[in-house]
Chain A
Amino acid sequence: MQSLFPVTHILLDESARELPTVRHWTDAFPHVPTTVLGEGETPDERLRALGVPPNKTVFFLTRSKGGLVKQCPGRTDHYVCCGLQTLDPSENCSMACSYCFLQSYLTNRYTVVQMDYPALTEEVRQVVSARPDRLFRFCTGELSDSLSLDPITRFSRHIVPFFSALPNALLELKTKTSRIENLRGLSHGGRTVVSWSLNPPAIIQREENGCAPLPERLAAARDAASAGYKTAFHFDPLIHYTGCHSDYSRVLDDLFATVPVESIAWISLGTLRITPFMREQIPRVFPKAKVTTEELVRGYDGKLRYLRPIRHGLYSHMLSEIRRKSKGKDVFVYLCMEDAATWKKFFDPAPTTPDELDLMFKDALLKKFPDLK
């Protein structure tokens, strides 16, 4: 079982001080030094004055000033994006995956946690009510892991019941942990998808520092499914190396042996993407990591990717294995951040725009889960 994350200092925004959620932190970490920040004071200034290094074990508990619901940042002209909305109740992650963009950009920064849960849900309500025809998907795992802080924040207890009452939205809690304890017994109304990013054990051990091992993730997925949650899986990033195809096949074997296919809302596939800056940083920050050692070329968006034929090889392998191992049962699979040409190679019909993919997503979900109508 993963240990809880380390907390060395708590910075409390004056404006959040009276919120009841702050107690979750002060009760859980009574001996951790806590500093209240006055109005207009920035965490950086205060940490400097205190001589505390601003790393992610420092938690800044604050109150949202809005703008926490966003379009997935992956959306560009060249790649077909799935139209996900992101909701960021926290920023920075207690784990440390070598390939994660947070590692390069936020390594030395503190972790921000939003304390005003009703303000967050209100933002979501406004977005979904403006487009009743759409089936929105919101994910809280973009700037953090959705569940790594949940044992303390208990955010899931607030957000899951909230989504159960929305007619045109799904919540995705995306994680590499097994921390689903708060999800038990919640009224989710079938509108929360708990998703796990998966990789072969050797990759988890070398590249996904501090994350739960594969068997723990799969056991948690099985438990979530038996509690009635929909599940989803992200093979993203797919990492290429000699022998990777058979390793990914074994992960799929384990997945389909552990989690009922009926609960799986989607599986996404996306090969490794890193920025040139990350390519420089990763070997320095993670000397054991090997993700930068493969052949990577610059894509249309300036990010580095595997050569197109290598990406295609991985997709083709995964798609045929998923079809074979799920025994023809309906599993919606999509590609993350791929161009229309790649989609066309593997899918018929293939979406050419984010809107088309959004529609495909909606149709597939409503077909498999009529309760979402």
Chain B
Amino acid sequence: MIPLVFPTEKFRWVPISKIDQEDDTYAFGDPWRQSPPLLQSIRAWSVLHPVVLKPVRSKYQIISGRKRIRTAARQGINIRKVPAWLVPAHWPVTDAIRFWLSENRTDRELSIPEKSRVVRRLLDLKVPPSSIVDDYFPLMDLQPSEALVEALAGVVSVPAPLLRYLAEKDCPLRRYADFVGLDEDSVSFLQKLTEGLSPTLNDLDKIVTELLELSRKEDVPPSIIAESLKLEEGLAPPIQDAPAVLSSLMARLRERRYPELVRRLKKKKDLSRGLDLPSGTAVSWDPSLEQPGIDIRLHIQTPEQLKRAADKIGSDQNRQIIEQLLSDE
């Protein structure tokens, strides 16, 4: 890793009006990250800790301290100037990114979307993946793997409303890719779903995967599938029984995605209802239907019980049903 040299800097009080808040060269932080104590502290003491700025043309770019400047500028606080370290205009963007990383990782772990924004920017700057791994990954606590560069770069393509949900649910890196490539309507449906039902990551993943698979199979956008299955029904607030709504929604999706499996399982279940078995007997089968046959399980304590149970299980009615259950395989 090349050592980072912080350039000779100047300290100044810089007017907020001279700072370009729209410039996003170093805007890697999650916009949803809240810090209420910051607001209180700025109200009480103004901005104490200097921000880091870089002069670009007649304005200043924010390298570090974006949230402090935003808070000072937007919360109706009467602050005109902030303390700032100024770095020279010629300081390379790539070095400034490393500086941003080292500053931000000291007090918290960077989220996956934050790391992704950094990697994307570096790739845009034509930094080779091998250098990203060598010079930037240690600052993001990442394993040295070029495959991760590509995976991380893809994360920011996840639509914004979902990105926040996934980051807050601690979604592992490899699963972000499932949420890329959704059309606008699907994103709005998923947003309603996450806000209304707050599904687990696994359930959300399943819903998205199946929607996308169905959409590819039927050559229509995922939102059309969602609409045809009336998946949005029940998502209007207030939702009384979120787990029930979620499971009915998932059942509808599963029925469309696995029609043959669902049909066969249902048939098995219906047929097995006709079995006349000793009480306490459990009937089950492999839910994937890969393992042929059915399991009939009962608890026997005496030879008499065994005889009675065997007679009952082997009745003509049961025999017929079991034959039907097996013939369907």
> A206-249: which have CB < 8 Å to B?
none
- Cross-chain contact of A295 among B147, B174, B259 (Cβ < 8 A): B259
> B284-328: which have CB < 8 Å to A?
288-290, 292, 328
Q: Is B177 in contact with A284, judged by CB distance below 8 angstroms?
A: yes
- Cross-chain contact of A309 among B130, B147, B329 (Cβ < 8 A): B329
- Minimum CB–CB distance for B211 against chain A, Å: 12
Number of interface residues of B (CB under 8 A): 24
Any B CB within 8 A of the CB of A3: no
Q: Is A293 in contact with B264, judged by CB distance below 8 angstroms?
A: no
The chain B residues found within 8 Å of chain A, CB to CB, are 128, 130, 147, 174, 177-178, 181, 212-214, 216-217, 257-261, 264, 288-290, 292, 328-329
Q: Tell me if A's interface is mostly helix, strand, loop or mixed.
A: mixed
- Cross-chain contact of A290 among B217, B260, B328 (Cβ < 8 A): B217
When chains A and B are docked, how far (Å) is the Cα of A48 from the Cα of B128? 10
Q: Is A308 in contact with B177, judged by CB distance below 8 angstroms?
A: no
- Cross-chain contact of B217 among A287, A293, A310 (Cβ < 8 A): A293
Not counting A290-B217, A295-B261, A305-B290, a sample of 10 additional A-B residue pairs whose C-beta atoms are within 8 angstroms of each other reads A48-B130, A51-B130, A287-B181, A292-B213, A293-B214, A295-B260, A297-B288, A307-B288, A309-B264, A341-B292
Residues of the B chain whose Cβ atoms lie less than 8 Å from the Cβ of A341:
292
When chains A and B are docked, how far (Å) is the Cα of A142 from the Cα of B216? 29
Any B CB within 8 A of the CB of A347: no
- Minimum CB–CB distance for B178 against chain A, Å: 8
Residues of the A chain whose Cβ atoms lie less than 8 Å from the Cβ of B258:
295
- Minimum CB–CB distance for B180 against chain A, Å: 8
- Minimum CB–CB distance for B185 against chain A, Å: 19
A-B CB proximity, top 3 nearest: A293-B217, A297-B288, A293-B213
Any B CB within 8 A of the CB of A283: yes
Q: Is B290 in contact with A299, judged by CB distance below 8 angstroms?
A: yes
Residue of A nearest to B258 (CB): A295
When chains A and B are docked, how far (Å) is the Cα of A290 from the Cα of B257? 13
Q: Is B217 in contact with A297, judged by CB distance below 8 angstroms?
A: no
**Assuming A51-B130, A283-B216, is B259 touching A298 (CB within 8 A)?**
no
When chains A and B are docked, how far (Å) is the Cα of A292 from the Cα of B288? 16
- Cross-chain contact of B216 among A290, A299, A305, A307 (Cβ < 8 A): A290
Residues of the B chain whose Cβ atoms lie less than 8 Å from the Cβ of A292:
213
When chains A and B are docked, how far (Å) is the Cα of A292 from the Cα of B257? 11
- Minimum CB–CB distance for B294 against chain A, Å: 14
When chains A and B are docked, how far (Å) is the Cα of A283 from the Cα of B180? 11
Any B CB within 8 A of the CB of A108: yes
| 13 contacts across the A-B interface (CB closer than 8 A) | A283-B212, A283-B216, A287-B216, A290-B217, A293-B217, A295-B257, A295-B261, A297-B261, A299-B290, A307-B289, A308-B329, A309-B329, A341-B292
Residues of the B chain whose Cβ atoms lie less than 8 Å from the Cβ of A293:
213-214, 216-217
- Cross-chain contact of B260 among A283, A287, A300, A309 (Cβ < 8 A): A309
**Assuming A290-B217, A293-B214, is B260 touching A307 (CB within 8 A)?**
yes
When chains A and B are docked, how far (Å) is the Cα of A297 from the Cα of B290? 8
- Minimum CB–CB distance for B181 against chain A, Å: 8
Residues of the A chain whose Cβ atoms lie less than 8 Å from the Cβ of B260:
295, 307, 309-310
**Assuming A305-B290, A308-B329, A341-B292, is B128 touching A51 (CB within 8 A)?**
yes
**Assuming A295-B258, A297-B261, is B214 touching A308 (CB within 8 A)?**
no
- Minimum CB–CB distance for A128 against chain B, Å: 37
Q: Mark A305-338, 1 if CB is under 8 A from B, else 0.
A: 1011110000000000000000000000000000
**Assuming A283-B212, A283-B216, is B257 touching A298 (CB within 8 A)?**
no
When chains A and B are docked, how far (Å) is the Cα of A48 from the Cα of B146? 10
When chains A and B are docked, how far (Å) is the Cα of A310 from the Cα of B177? 30
- Minimum CB–CB distance for A120 against chain B, Å: 31
Residues of the A chain whose Cβ atoms lie less than 8 Å from the Cβ of B217:
290, 293-294
Q: Is B264 in contact with A307, judged by CB distance below 8 angstroms?
A: yes
Q: Is B292 in contact with A308, judged by CB distance below 8 angstroms?
A: yes
When chains A and B are docked, how far (Å) is the Cα of A290 from the Cα of B147? 25
Q: Mark A265-298, 1 if CB is under 8 A from B, else 0.
A: 0000000000000001001100100101111011
Residues of the B chain whose Cβ atoms lie less than 8 Å from the Cβ of A307:
260-261, 264, 288-290
Residues of the A chain whose Cβ atoms lie less than 8 Å from the Cβ of B178:
280
When chains A and B are docked, how far (Å) is the Cα of A108 from the Cα of B147? 9
Q: Is A298 in contact with B130, judged by CB distance below 8 angstroms?
A: no
- Minimum CB–CB distance for B192 against chain A, Å: 24
- Minimum CB–CB distance for A309 against chain B, Å: 7
When chains A and B are docked, how far (Å) is the Cα of A67 from the Cα of B189? 54
